[in-house]
Amino acid sequence: METTIAAISTPLAVGGIGVVRLSGEQALSIAQRVFEPGAAKQVSQMAGYTAAYGHVRDSQGVFDEAVLTVFRAPRSYTGEDVAELSCHGGLYLVQRLLRAVLDAGAVPAQAGEFTKRAFLNGKISLTQAEAVGDLIAARSDFSARAALSLKDGALYRRIQAIQGELLALAGHLSAWVDYPEEEMESVTPEEIGDTLARAGESLQGLLDGFGAGQLLKQGIDTAIVGRPNAGKSTLMNLLSQSERSIVTQVAGTTRDIVENTVRIGDMILNLADTAGLRETQDPVEQIGVQLARRRMQSSALVLAVFDSSQELDGEDLELLKALKGRCAVAVVNKVDLPSKLDLERIRQAAPQVVLLSASQGQGLPELQEAIARALQLVQVDPNAAMLANERQRSCAAAACQAVLEALECLQSGYTLDAVTVCVTQAIERLGELSGTTAAQAVVDEVFSKFCVGK
């Protein structure tokens, strides 16, 4: 018999209510042991999607008021009987309630075990289960919308469609291989080629969108660089809306890298404010400058800050050169002061140039737009089918590779056996992606990343 699992499903923190969730065959009988309904209700008689007010008790007696919500199999999150006990939120009460249900026969749920049961009971696909994790982890509107679309099955449907076509093709192919003498009027080599090419394109489309989607979800590593005193730390603070970095009029103020994650519109930027770039004798500052150069190299986006009240110097020109071919925005700062710098020179070197006063906030919307343009991410549609993580990407990449190999076999006149082998491989990889044929280890790995109680 399957165990009945229990866990605290709300954060372990002080709050209005705290929820202990039970799932499994014994969910209602265990709930009955710890919950006393207020009215003359019987827990065992409660229908699905109903709630009852009452009290919770353990061996010491009644310790809180609670509401019991009942979900009957298969119409529940996990597909099993589910009971949710909501008591007052608070570290002590919720843990005491959990202990009470464990004493009454439940076993502690593993991380993600509720969602894993939903998957094993066929309530959701593996990609939809992953979406639940993504939804919980979402830090921006884009991430939340992308996760919701994954949860709604946008990716699953796209994968199913590709898999369906390949399965039909594999059927034709194996008939052909098994009965070569029969006339196969239904498919021609051209049609096989077309089907394979379509599947390949569809998979390639998903793979192409992966990088941009990931960047938007996890944040874009962004280095703020430039000469000492250009206003890098002031820009950091402006974007952070707080005094994150120390700002002084002393050139060489910032030494260590100061990091902060900020949300700008739909984008998450992992900002790094760095030491001003210059030749210096100060050993501490030297290390800071080295760190700054290295961070600039490893970042996906560079915000290069120039002081418009100063003429461009050698260091500025070096920086402009280093921006070539990079995803970068030249930020011409201190435009509230009389301008001395050669703006044309910057415009020639950098594709995105923004005039800003970091201390006064003027030019911030333009900076946001320039960043979006530099990243060319504005056209990523969070509602479209999108690969959500590395696991999904590698399955899709392997499937795509197999499809291309099938196409190659077909075009170079190999036997249809060879084509069939490749198509079968592609189907298997897609099954792994959506979870229909995923190995136990893969499934376990997916759910181990969840929090307990989900």
Ligand X SMILES: Nc1nc2c(ncn2[C@@H]2O[C@H](COP(=O)(O)OP(=O)(O)OP(=O)(O)O)[C@@H](O)[C@H]2O)c(=O)[nH]1
Interacting residues toward ligand X by CB under 6 A: 226, 228-234, 247-249, 251-254, 275-276, 333-334, 336-337, 357-359
Stretch that binds Mg ion, among 26-34, 252-260, 264-272, 366-374 (CB under 5 A): 252-260
4 or 229: CB nearest ligand X: 229
- N residues, the chain: 454
The DSSP bridge pattern shows strands 301-307 and 267-273 to be unpaired
Rounded CA separation 109/104 (Å) = 15
Minimum distance from residue 286 beta carbon to ligand X (Å): 13
- Which lies closer to Mg ion via its Cβ, residue 133 or residue 228? 228
69 touches Mg ion (CB under 5 A) = no
234 touches, from Mg ion, ligand X, none (C-beta below 5 to 8 Å by class): ligand X
Position with the least CB separation from ligand X: 276
Which of Mg ion, ligand X, none lies near 228, with the C-beta cut-off 5 to 8 A by kind? ligand X
For the bound state, the minimum distance from the C-beta of residue 307 to ligand X, rounded and expressed in Å, comes to 8
Q: Which does 128 bind (CB under 5 to 8 A by kind): ligand X, Mg ion, none?
A: none
Cβ proximity to ligand X: between 34 and 236 the closer is: 236
Residue 62 interacting entry, from Mg ion, ligand X, none, C-beta within 5 to 8 Å by type: none
User: Helix or strand or coil: residue 262?
Assistant: strand
Query: Can you name the residues that pair with 329 across neighbouring β-strands?
Result: 303
Nearest to 280 by CA among 252, 321, 245: 252
Minimum CB separation from ligand X for residue 296, in Å? 13
Cis peptide before 180 (omega within 30 of 0): no
Which CB, 258 or 375, lies closer to ligand X?
258
CB of residue 66 to ligand X, shortest distance in Å: 54
User: Quick one: which segment of 34-42, 118-126, 248-256, 368-376 binds Mg ion (CB under 5 A)?
Assistant: 248-256
Total residues in contact with Mg ion, by rule CB under 5 A: 4
Select 131 or 305, whichever has its Cβ closest to ligand X.
305
Cβ 320 to ligand X, closest distance in Å?
A: 16
Q: Which is nearer to ligand X, 79 or 231 (CB)?
A: 231
DSSP secondary structure of 49-63? TEEEEEEEEETTEEE
Residues 215-244 that bind Mg ion (CB under 5 A): 232-233
- Smallest distance, ligand X to C-beta of residue 277, A: 8
B/e letters for 119-130, b = 16+ CB within 10 Å, e = fewer, are: bbeebbbbbbbb
* Binding status of residue 4 toward Mg ion by CB under 5 A: no
Beta bridge partners of 306: 332
Cα distances (angstroms) measured from residue 369 to each of 145, 348, 364: 21, 19, 9
> Which of 69, 222, 254, 389 lies at the binding interface for Mg ion (CB under 5 A)?
254
Sequential DSSP letters for 334-387:
-TTSPP-S-HHHHHHH-S-EEE-BTTTTBTHHHHHHHHHHHHT-TT--TTS---
* Pair type for strands 328-333 and 220-226: unpaired
163 binds Mg ion (CB under 5 A): no
Residue 18 and residue 190: Cα distance in Å, rounded? 61
**Choice between 222 and 434, CB closer to ligand X:** 222
Tell me the Ramachandran region of residue 441: left when phi exceeds 0, alpha when psi lies from -120 to 50, beta otherwise.
alpha
Q: Rounded to an integer, what distance in angstroms lies between the CA atom of residue 434 and that of residue 423?
A: 17
Residue 88 β-bridge partners: 17
Asked if 23 is part of the footprint of Mg ion (rule: CB under 5 A), the reply reads no
> Which partner in ligand X, Mg ion, none is near 23 (CB below 5 to 8 A by kind)?
none
For ligand X, which is the closer residue by CB, 14 or 251?
Answer: 251
Interacting residue ranges for Mg ion, rule: CB under 5 A: 232-233, 253-254
